């Protein structure tokens, strides 16, 4: 069974616990990591690392560099992958890698965004502009990718895109294991 993930506006342990009590298995959190990482630790302590997904909006810059995007001030900076490996890396189980420019587009996910993660051990959930079966297959071939999330571009076309999922790959569907750190679909 694929877990229900909730994201948006979680800024305290109390809000995180409420989301979990309302049925969320996983929480996608971005803003707190940028503004008050200590609160991210408190949220993790309250719900467990297996429930924590670090949302990370990235984009490719004009010179081909990977940039991290911050939604509140609406600015970018060079993404430092070591920032995930040190400090607060132990408070999330996976990274929701969001292709900010590709989000909402058709077949527009930029696989160059995977490059900074090649030497890290974080499992990624790819999101943003993923709309075709070959694209899903290519993304899932990346060793650091544990899942693909499909969203906005299918809002009014879900039934037209039922073939996006290859039924023969369903054995890779992530299972829930509360209390243990999620290792992603490839590890189960």
C-beta of residue 88 within 8 angstroms of C-beta of residue 40: yes
Reported confidence tier of residue 7, pLDDT bands at 50, 70, 90 = very high
Query: Which tens digit of pLDDT belongs to each residue from 82-131?
Result: 888 655 568 899 999 999 999 888 889 999 999 999 988 889 999 999 98
Fold of 49-187: Rossmann fold (3.40.50)
User: What's the sign of the alpha-carbon dihedral 118, 138, 130, 103?
Assistant: positive
Q: Cα–Cα distance between 179 and 47 in angstroms, integer?
A: 9
Q: What is the pLDDT of residue 182?
A: 41
pTM of the model: 0.81
- Alpha-carbon distance 99 to 58, whole Å? 5
Q: Which ranges in 31-76 belong to alpha helices (H)?
A: 31-35, 37-47
Give the span between the Cα atoms of 182 and 185, in whole angstroms.
Answer: 9
Q: Which residue has the higher pLDDT, 118 or 171?
A: 118
Query: What confidence score (pLDDT) does residue 150 get?
Result: 85
Report domain extents, the chain. 49-187
Give me the pLDDT at residue 163, please. 59
Give percent of the chain with pLDDT exceeding 90: 59
Q: To the nearest whole number, what is the mean pLDDT of the chain?
A: 83
Phi, psi of 6 (to 5 degrees): -125, 140
């Amino acid at each position: 069974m694929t877990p229900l993930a909730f994201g948006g506006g979680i800024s305290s342990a109390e809000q995180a616990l409420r989301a979990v009590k309302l049925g969320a298995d996983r929480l996608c959190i971005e803003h707190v990591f940028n503004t008050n990482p200590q609160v991210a630790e408190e949220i993790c302590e309250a719900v467990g690392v297996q429930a924590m997904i670090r949302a990370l909006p990235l984009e490719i810059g004009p010179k081909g560099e990977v940039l991290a995007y911050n939604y509140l001030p609406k600015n970018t900076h060079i993404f430092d992958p070591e920032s995930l490996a040190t400090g607060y890396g132990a408070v999330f189980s996976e990274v929701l890698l969001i292709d900010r420019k590709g989000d909402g587009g058709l077949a527009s996910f930029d696989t160059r965004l995977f490059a900074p993660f090649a030497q890290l051990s974080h499992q990624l959930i790819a999101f943003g502009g993923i709309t075709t079966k070959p694209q899903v297959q290519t993304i899932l071939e990346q060793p650091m990718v544990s899942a693909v999330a499909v969203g906005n571009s299918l809002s009014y076309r879900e039934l037209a895109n039922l073939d996006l999922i290859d039924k023969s790959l369903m054995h890779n569907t992530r299972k829930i294991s509360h209390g243990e750190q999620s290792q992603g679909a490839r590890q189960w």
